[in-house]
Amino acid sequence: MFLKGKTALITGSTSGIGLAYAKAFAAEGAAVMINGFGEADAIEAERAKLAETSGANALYDAADMTKPDQIVAMVERCHAELGGPDIVVNNAGIQHVAPIDDFPPEKWDAIIAINLSSAWHMMRAAIPHMKARGWGRIITTASAHSMVASPNKSAYVAAKHGVVGITKTVALEVATHGITANCISPGYVWTPLVENQIPDTMKTRGLTREQVINDVLLDAQPTKEFVQPEEVAALAVFLCRDEAKSITGTNLPVDGGWTAA
């Protein structure tokens, strides 16, 4: 349990990739703070399991990632009640699929706020605590769409390209403080975010559900398999090891070969 004594704060972590991150950090002994939306009873059940797994404390915070003041308050609560945060994972994200001339401006604003701006606010609030301890790991879930584009995803692609730029810049700024900053860019992972975009894609492209899965989602991944959340989380855990201290400012794909071409 090499993360015993460390604290991890993961946004968008009540399900999907975010919850996989939380479980992986807890398995290495880290105290964790999870965040996101969902049924209160289900969230409490996951929180209790995380505490049992880690042997440390686990908390839930309902901060809204569109509200900078709530993001800052969550970081400060984490520091006060758990310590750290030593590890910050920017994972919260939403999606909307539509051509740009039919893309609702409010959807653009929400995607930029949650997928891009929230990561900036998290880093800004957490880095002083990391500097004080001389150690930190910032990990942001980007996407294969941080490197390549797909039609009908203008806001998402813009946001994911943006977080890579922020991450590179921050990595340079904190390089002498024992802090690393990296992006992990999964291909299609079977999560609620992916499942929920299927109806919009069916409507936009006039396809069946099976056609969207096989001919759109998995078409770009040479493995023809969805990435598993646990694979993404395992890479995040490695980035927290001392052996990974020279890996910073990078964007690491976990995409079944999607961006190899």
Which residues form the catalytic set?
156
Give the separation between CA 87 and CA 85, rounded to whole angstroms: 6
Residue 218, helix vs strand vs coil: coil
SS3 track for 127-159: HHHHHHHCCEEEEEECCHHHCCCCCCCHHHHHH
Residue 63: which of 122, 126, 116 has the closest Cα? 122
Asked if 212 contacts 205 with a C-beta cutoff of 8 angstroms, the reply is: yes
- Region of 224 (left: φ > 0; alpha: ψ -120 to 50; beta: rest) is left
Residue 205: exposure state from Cβ atoms within 10 A (0-12, 13-18, ≥19): middle
DSSP 8-state secondary structure symbol assigned to residue 257: T
On the question of a cis peptide bond just before residue 99, with omega within 30 degrees of 0, the verdict is no
Angle, CA of 247, 125 and 191, to the nearest 5°: 65
Residue 226, helix vs strand vs coil: coil
